[in-house]
Amino acid sequence: MAFVYLLISETSKKKLSYVGWTMNLAKRLKLHNSGNGAKFTKGRKWKLVYYEYFSNKNEAMKREYHLKKNYKLRKEIKEIYTRSKYSEK
């Protein structure tokens, strides 16, 4: 069981996104938010906005690579998150 996920961190200027894969989604998010995750994620507060489930690590790694390189798809996911966030208010 493996997950590919997309995190967003909002700063005053823009929304940053991070894509990764993990076998334990809850634990990985805690690591990112505690400063013990990937180097890029340190010092920021992250929100999980998208994830996909895969039956094995190899499939998840392939999808992670695709999602990391597909900036158009990442932008679409960020826009959906932004719209849903503001529609809740």
Predicted model pTM:
0.86
What is the percentage of the chain residues whose pLDDT exceeds 90? 61
Reported as a single tens digit per residue, the pLDDT across 41-77 is 888 899 999 999 999 999 999 999 999 999 999 989 8
pLDDT attached to residue 18: 93
List all residues 6 or more positions away from 19 whose beta carbon is below 8 Å from its beta carbon.
4, 5, 6, 7, 64, 67, 68, 74
How many whole angstroms separate alpha carbon 52 and alpha carbon 36? 23
How many whole angstroms separate alpha carbon 19 and alpha carbon 74? 9
Domain locations in the chain? 2-87
